[in-house]
Chains A and B, each alone.
Chain A
Amino acid sequence: MVPSKKLRHSFAAVYAVLGWGALLTWSVTTHRALSIPEWVVLYTLAGLLLLVERFHIPVTAREVVISLETVYLVAFSWNFPLKTVVCGGFLYAIVSSLRYKGNWYTQAMNALAYVAAASVSIVTAHQLAGFQTGLNIMNIPLLMAYFVVYFFVNIVVVAIYLVLQTTRENTKFLLRSIFSVRAILVYTITLMIGMLMAIVIQNAGLGGAILFTGLIILVAWSYGDYFKMANHFKELAIRDELTGVYNHRHIQFVLDKWFAAETPFAFLMLDIDHFKRYNDVWGHVQGDEVLRKIATLLQEHSQTGEVCARYSADEFVLALPGSDLDELQVRAEAIRQAVEQMELPGVERVARTRLTVSIGIAVYPEMADNKKDLLMRVDDAIYKAKVTGNNQVFLYESVLDEVQQDLVNDDPEQEIVRTLRVFLAILNSKDRYTYAHTERDVNYATALAKKIGLPEERLRYLRLGAFLHDIGKVEVPTEILTKRGPLSKDEWVVMRNHVELGVSIVRPIQSLALCLPIIRHHHERYDGAGYPDGLKTQNIPLEARILTIADSFDAMTTSRPYQRKRNLEEAIQELRQCAGKQFDPDLVEPFIEAVQALGILPSGSQMDLA
């Protein structure tokens, strides 16, 4: 069971308190009471830590900074009794935590990680050096041991905190960034500055520390300006100016990086439904405001390590490292609902007007093994969400994958299967609607076949046949396939010819011989008015009759340029009206029941925006 966010935060708070309790108890019980000069050191340390907490020295332009607190704790621990350093660090932890209010434990934990690492490493160094105090910079092995212990303790304290406070995926992600070359470089620089300051204090006392602080603050301040400028340009390059989230360029970079590192992740694409119409009605100024609102909402729904970006005009993406599918769908659904409930201008003027989004999800490595495929998969998913009524979340799934698995497992004619796949890819590129439509046909036909108890072997060929039934369209010119108006007589001849073309494409594959009648006869009508052979009633193969219903139902319930989409009730009504004419009357009612059980179409009319 995954603990709730609140519980995780409580764990983290308890951890910070217990950690400090243990450290203080240890330092108080093993050291004598503080003298007045030690109090002066304690106050000075706490004051300097509070001061430098607000300054960081950037190391690279990639948000890597030197935390100056470490520098002071290292320097002071080499020169003053440990109890002074621990108590000074504790005073700093208390005062600085106050600024974080509800998140106080985060800062208390940060301070604990610094102080614990400095304490344990200095005790180790003292033991190794035979309890000689003072820093001998020439004792390289000792300094190396000090470095390793510091690094180790710091990582352990932080790792425990991460395990308690955040999700497992985030912990892995953050730990991976801690163990990077860049992070070790930062540690090294920090510890070396700390050593340098230790030498200054050794020779010039607290006055030296204050002088050093002046230098550090000036360096941090002047360097900060340069890095601010560099970051400004970097932000301009990777952020979307309008919404403030990352842009298309950056998300491509992130994807490349994650693919290179083989990081499992989910890719969620969100497309605003009817956004063009919204812009036409309310104007682009208001449209921009909507984009900003949705970007803000997405950022609110994303967690540490996840990347939110504007992919194109009205499309946003969210890349989530290592998310599991169930959680992903719940989160996507939450985003969809949040957008639907978003307060927008126009709601008060046009009742029931809601802006909605369609969300597609694809996951690496389960669904694609390269960036191009992943983007195509998520595009497919979003297309399915759009074509079946908008305002939905669709996880990518492909009947083609399943069908191909069937073929490859059983058939030696793999070369032909590959050719078939190429044909399907061509069809997809020529007319996306037809491709997505065949996938839905497979699902509908399968549902009906199961409902009427079609044997397993016949069901398998029905699925294959349903998937390939429109493959002949690959030979139909694109302008006819995608024509918005009614077809001319000549064009109808070409279009009708697709069934015979399909048969001739599939015929060479012996193992698909049983699919041929399905492909050939799926446009026959029960009353004999169909094509190509004008077969009637039971003369039409059962599988073809099943597919005819599935095919027609999908055509009724999806948006086409030349035809208004029907909702579920309207489609059912039309099926019943055509029973005995176009469709086998014995199959219509089982089909209606099967489709209702599938539950993938929203019932009731969809309110179009504006």
Chain B
Amino acid sequence: MVVVTIGLLLGLVVGWIRKGSFWALGNLSMRGLWLVALAFFLQSLAIHSLHGTAYILVLSAGYVGMMGFAGLNLHTAGIPWMATGTVANFTVMVMNGMGMPAYLPVVQHYSPQLVPLLLAGRLGKSIAMTPDTRLNFLGDIFTFKVASFVSLFSVGDVLIAVGLAVLLQYLMTHPKGGVVSGSIQKTAP
């Protein structure tokens, strides 16, 4: 989440520098916004309360919802980035039993107490990255540390953050935002 928050802040700052308006964010009009809320709810439900097949199905449904939303708004600035990030995350999870592989040496370096928990099984949606892990380069391999808070994230998360930043600054600098499929072809300059 940290990287997505950074994307959000970056989008607002760039939008402001480019003489955009914060009020323009209110013009956000996208198709199927409810799918995002549903997807977040399903992901949260799966990670915190479900196990086994129910976990896999509900988490997958959450990702499918997100990808459906991205598909509906693919012509909107930033959405192609977010869609690619979501697909990258979903792909690596599907290939690894709906678990997101985390690069252990990084975890060991910053939060050694989490290593045994990861090795023992799933921690949230994270699993330990092993030599058998498929598409390991799409897993959580980046780290970000602010004070004592450490965040582990994947290249998919970075793409989602970039997409969010592009979208926000676009909305801020285009007061008639109202981004409807097919009406706007340009991405942010």
Chain A interface (Cβ within 8 Å of chain B)? 34, 36, 39-40, 43, 47, 54, 99
Q: Are A47 and B158 in contact (CB under 8 A)?
A: yes
Q: Is the CB of A36 within 8 A of B155?
A: no
Q: What 7 pairs across the A-B complex have the smallest Cβ distances? A: A39-B137, A36-B103, A36-B141, A43-B155, A40-B141, A40-B142, A39-B141
**Apart from A36-B141, A43-B155, what 17 extra A-B contacts exist at CB < 8 Å?**
A34-B137, A36-B103, A36-B105, A36-B129, A36-B136, A36-B137, A39-B136, A39-B137, A39-B141, A40-B141, A40-B142, A43-B142, A43-B158, A47-B158, A47-B162, A54-B189, A99-B187
| Bound complex: CA A34 to CA B187 (Å) | 32
Measured CA separation A204–B82 after assembly (Å): 30
Taken together as a complex, chains A and B put the C-alpha atoms of A54 and B162 apart, in Å, by 15
Please name the residue on chain B nearest to A34 by beta carbon.
B137
User: How many chain-B residues does the 8 Å CB contact rule pick out?
Assistant: 12
The A-contacting residues of B in range 132-189, CB under 8 angstroms, are 136-137, 141-142, 155, 158, 162, 187, 189
Can you list 19 pairs linking A and B with CB atoms under 8 Å apart?
A34-B137, A36-B103, A36-B105, A36-B129, A36-B136, A36-B137, A36-B141, A39-B136, A39-B137, A39-B141, A40-B141, A40-B142, A43-B142, A43-B155, A43-B158, A47-B158, A47-B162, A54-B189, A99-B187
Q: CB-nearest residue of chain B relative to A51?
A: B162
Q: How distant is the Cα of A39 from the Cα of B135 in the complex, in angstroms?
A: 11
Q: In the bound complex, how far is the Cα of B142 from the Cα of A314, in angstroms?
A: 63
Q: Which residues of B contact A43 (CB under 8 A)?
A: 142, 155, 158
Name the distance in Å between B132's Cβ and chain A's nearest Cβ: 14
Give min CB distance, B158 to chain A, whole Å. 7
* Nearest CB of B to A210, in Å: 11
- Complex Cα distance, B158 from A40, in Å, reads 12
- By a CB distance below 8 angstroms, the chain B residues around A40 are 141-142
Query: Closest CB of chain B to A100's CB: distance in Å?
Result: 13
Residues of B close to A34: CB separation below 8 A: 137
Residues of A within 8 A of B129 (CB): 36
B residues contacting A by CB (< 8 A) are 103, 105, 129, 136-137, 141-142, 155, 158, 162, 187, 189
Chain B residue at minimal CB-CB distance from A98: B80
Number of A-B contacts (CB under 8 A): 19
Kindly report which residue of chain A lies nearest to residue B101, judged by CB atoms: A36
- For the complex, what is the distance from the CA of A242 to the CA of B105, rounded to whole Å? 64
- Which residues in B have their C-beta under 8 angstroms from that of A39? 136-137, 141
Q: Chain A residues with Cβ under 8 A from B142's Cβ?
A: 40, 43
Give Cα distance in the complex from A450 to B111, angstroms: 102
Question: B85 CB to closest chain A CB, in angstroms?
Answer: 12
Closest to A42 in B: B137
CA distance A43 to B159 in the complex (A): 11
Nearest CB on A from B163, distance (A):
13
Question: Max chain B CB contacts within 10 Å: which of A34, A39, A99?
Answer: A39
State the Cβ distance, B165 to closest chain A Cβ, in Å: 11
CB neighbours of B105 from chain A (8 A)? 36
Output the least CB separation between B151 and chain A (Å). 14
Contacts of B137 in A (CB 8 A): 34, 36, 39
In the bound complex, how far is the Cα of B103 from the Cα of A34, in angstroms?
A: 14
Report the minimal beta-carbon distance from B181 to chain A, rounded to whole angstroms: 19
In the complex, what's the smallest C-beta–C-beta distance from A228 to chain B, in angstroms?
A: 14
Complexed CA–CA distance, A306 and B186 (Å): 30
Shortest Cβ distance from A174 into chain B, in angstroms?
Answer: 26
Complex-state Cα separation, A47 to B136, whole angstroms: 19
Q: Residue of B at shortest CB range from A206? A: B142
Nearest CB in chain B: distance from A34 CB, A: 7
* A371–B158 CA distance with the chains assembled, in angstroms: 59
A32 CB to nearest chain B CB (Å): 15
| Chain A residue nearest to B189 in the complex (CB) | A54
Which chain B residues lie closer than 8 Å to A99 at the CB level?
Answer: 187
Of the candidates A34, A36, A47, A99, the one having the most CB atoms from chain B within 10 angstroms of its own CB is A36
A112 to B58, CA, bound (A): 44
Q: How far is the CA of A54 from the CA of B129 in the complex (A)?
A: 35
A54 to B189, CA, bound (A): 8
Inter-chain CA distance A40–B139, complex, in Å, is 11
Q: In the complex, A36 Cα to B129 Cα: how many Å?
A: 10
Chain A minimum-CB-distance residue to B103 = A36
Instruction: Pick from B129, B137, B142, B189 the residue with the most CB of A within 10 Å.
Output: B137
In the assembled complex, the CB of B100 is this many whole angstroms from the nearest CB of chain A, namely 14
Cα-based distance from A429 to B129 in the complex (angstroms): 89
Cα A47 to Cα B103 in complex, Å, equals: 20
CB nearest to B80 among chain A residues: A98
Quote the shortest CB–CB distance from A173 to chain B (angstroms). 29
- Nearest opposing residue in chain B for A39, CB measure: B137
Instruction: Write the nearest CB–CB distance from B58 to chain A, whole angstroms.
Output: 29
Closest to A54 in B: B189
Q: How far is the CB of A527 from chain B (nearest CB, A)?
A: 78
Chain A residues within an 8 Å CB radius of B136: 36, 39
Taking the closest CB of chain B, its distance from the CB of A83, in whole angstroms, is: 13
Bound CA–CA A43/B139 (angstroms):
12
**Min CB–CB distance A49 → chain B (angstroms):** 13
A36 to chain B: which residues have CB within 8 Å? 103, 105, 129, 136-137, 141
Min Cβ gap A185→B in Å is 28
Q: How far is the CB of B152 from chain A (nearest CB, A)?
A: 12
A54 to B188, CA, bound (A): 11
Complex CA distance for A34 and B137, rounded to whole angstroms: 9
Whole-angstrom distance between the alpha carbons of A43 and B155 in the complex?
7
Give complex CA distance A115, B105 in Å.
30
Return A84 CB to nearest CB of chain B, in Å.
12
Query: Which chain A residue has the least Cβ–Cβ distance from B81?
Result: A95
CB of A577 to closest CB in B, whole Å = 68
- Report the minimum CB–CB distance from B14 to chain A (whole Å): 11
In the complex, A99 Cα to B186 Cα: how many Å?
10
Distance, CA A198 to CA B103, complexed state (A): 26
Q: With a CB–CB cut-off of 8 A, which chain A residues contact B158?
A: 43, 47
Cα A99 to Cα B185 with chains together (Å)? 11
A37, chain B: closest CB distance, angstroms: 8
B170, chain A: closest CB distance, angstroms: 14
The residues of B that contact A54 with a CB separation of less than 8 Å are 189
Chain A residues, Cβ within 8 Å of B187: 99
Chain A residues with Cβ below 8 Å from B189 are: 54
Q: How far is the CA of A434 from the CA of B17 in the complex (A)?
A: 67
Cα distance A99–B166 in the bound complex, in angstroms: 15
The complex places the Cα of A47 from the Cα of B189 at a distance, in Å, of 16
Find the B residue at minimum CB distance from A44: B142
Bound: A515/B90 CA distance, A: 96
Residues of A within 8 A of B162 (CB): 47
- Which residue from chain A places its CB closest to the CB of B17 in the assembled complex? A221
State A40–B129 Cα separation when bound (angstroms).
15
CA gap between A60 and B184 in the complex, in Å? 35
Look across to chain B and name the residue whose beta carbon is closest to the beta carbon of A221. Answer: B17
Across-interface contacts of B103 in A (CB, < 8 A)? 36
Complex Cα gap A47–B165 (Å): 14
The residues of A that contact B155 with a CB separation of less than 8 Å are: 43
CA distance A34 to B142 in the complex (A): 15
Q: How far is the CA of A39 from the CA of B155 in the complex (A)?
A: 10
